[in-house]
């Protein structure tokens, strides 16, 4: 993947597809109601073209309203949602997913989302639940109601398990927690080797590490904020990066990360913040 990115328009195309997935996205976890609507509008105005929602976030309706009311063409906006629960039957599981598409894209012919993920591997019934939700997403994919399908919070073993039943394998995306303190390098390498796009959630470490001295040193060197350094770090690692903010000034500033580049020394210093033991 191209990591010397210089534009918010940069995308990645999952192998075997012709779908262009933006490298920078806007997360809407814990943003509700009017705040979700105004934050998504601010994000689109600032140039973000990917909005990351989920059934469990309870804001698909608001994201959908923004997308449908936007002056941008539907094709210019990339919308992700995630299924976090399993129904009582396979049909009900599918219906739950189809309702999400309706909340976001309406019920007209051709309504679609861009990416539908399984939110967590530990859906009710575990292995059977994972299979049932995946098969519901495959059905949506076949029907053209989602352009890509993927998983989130999946370990290697969960992705390998899918080979026994998946018609679509590999999943197009695995969305996982990634930032300097959480690198998951073995899982990231597995995804890269298998053509699975890696999306980084909580790329700002949920706002808890802005005062870290290493991050602040790198930020001062480039005359950027800590948040901008963390976002740029994720982009240069080759991840799709999904920062969240409900603060208009921060939403805009977090998208202003294409006019500088972290050098090797910065990347090593930031990478050294991880306390995880790398895989042998
Ligand atoms: N798949 C999953 O299981 C999963 C799990 C978690 C998250 N996600 C996705 O990833 C997205 C991002 O993750 P996240 O929401 O957990 O955390 P995050 O993006 O790492 O951090 C968000 C926090 O950082 C603060 N912040 C944002 N910009 C800032 C800035 N420039 N300066 C200082 N503080 C700043 C925000 O505050 P304000 O909002 O007050 O500005 C908020 O408290 C989510 O919204 C969601 O879409 C997915």
Domain residue limits at 205: 11-271
Backbone dihedral region for residue 226 (phi beyond 0: left; psi -120 to 50: alpha; all else: beta)? alpha
Q: Is residue 231 part of a domain?
A: yes
Given this model, what pLDDT does residue 25 score? 98
Ligand 1 within 6 A of CB of 202: yes
- CATH code of residue 109: 3.20.20.100
Nearest CA to ligand 1 atom 35: 207
- Crossing angle for the helix pair 33-46 and 60-69, nearest 10 degrees? 40
Q: Is residue 3 part of a domain?
A: no
Number of domains in the chain: 1
CA of 250, closest atom in ligand 1 = 31
Q: Is residue 4 part of a domain?
A: no
48-86 pLDDT per residue, tens: 999 999 999 999 999 999 999 999 999 999 999 999 999
Ligand 1 within 6 A of CB of 245: yes
Given this model, what pLDDT does residue 276 score? 80
Residues of the chain with pLDDT under 50: none
Given this model, what pLDDT does residue 125 score? 84
Q: What are phi and psi of 83, to 5 degrees?
A: -95, 120
Q: Is residue 262 part of a domain?
A: yes
Reply yes or no: is the peptide bond before residue 170 cis, omega within 30 of 0.
yes
Given this model, what pLDDT does residue 279 score? 64
Q: Is residue 88 part of a domain?
A: yes
Q: Is residue 1 part of a domain?
A: no
Given this model, what pLDDT does residue 3 score? 64
136-152 pLDDT per residue, tens: 999 999 999 999 999 99
Secondary structure (DSSP) of 123-184: -TTTHHHHHHHHHHHHHHHHTTSEEEEEEES--HHHHHHHTTT-SS-S-SEEEEE-BTTB--
Catalytic residue (choose from 48, 57, 94, 201): 57
In this structure, the strands spanning 197-201 and 240-241 are parallel
Catalytic annotation on 233? Answer: no
Q: Is residue 76 part of a domain?
A: yes
């Amino acid at each position: 993947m191209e990591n010397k990115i210089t534009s918010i328009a940069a995308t990645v195309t999952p192998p075997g597809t012709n779908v262009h997935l933006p490298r920078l996205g806007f997360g809407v976890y814990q943003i509700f109601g009017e705040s979700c609507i105004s934050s998504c509008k601010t994000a689109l105005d600032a140039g973000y073209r990917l909005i990351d929602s989920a059934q469990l976030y309870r804001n698909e309706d608001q994201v959908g309203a923004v997308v449908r009311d936007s002056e941008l063409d539907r094709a210019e906006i990339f919308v992700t949602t995630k299924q976090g629960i399993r129904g009582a039957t396979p049909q009900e599981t599918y219906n739950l997913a189809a309702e999400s598409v309706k909340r976001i894209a309406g019920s007209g012919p051709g309504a679609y989302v861009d990416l539908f993920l399984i939110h967590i591997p530990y859906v009710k019934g575990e292995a059977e639940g994972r299979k049932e939700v995946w098969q519901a997403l495959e059905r949506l994919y076949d029907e053209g109601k989602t352009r890509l399908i993927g998983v989130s919070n999946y370990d290697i073993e969960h992705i390998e398990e899918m080979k026994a039943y998946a018609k679509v394998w590999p999943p197009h995306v695995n969305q996982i927690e990634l930032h300097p303190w959480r690198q998951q390098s073995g899982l990231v390498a597995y995804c890269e080797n298998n053509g699975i796009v890696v999306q980084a959630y909580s790329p700002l470490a949920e706002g808890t590490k802005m005062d870290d001295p290493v991050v602040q040193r790198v930020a001062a060197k480039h005359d950027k904020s800590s948040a901008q350094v963390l976002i740029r770090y994720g982009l240069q690692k080759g991840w799709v990066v999904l920062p969240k903010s409900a603060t208009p000034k921060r939403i805009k500033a977090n998208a202003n990360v294409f006019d500088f580049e972290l050098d090797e020394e910065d990347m090593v210093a930031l990478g050294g913040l991880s306390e995880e033991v790398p895989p042998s």
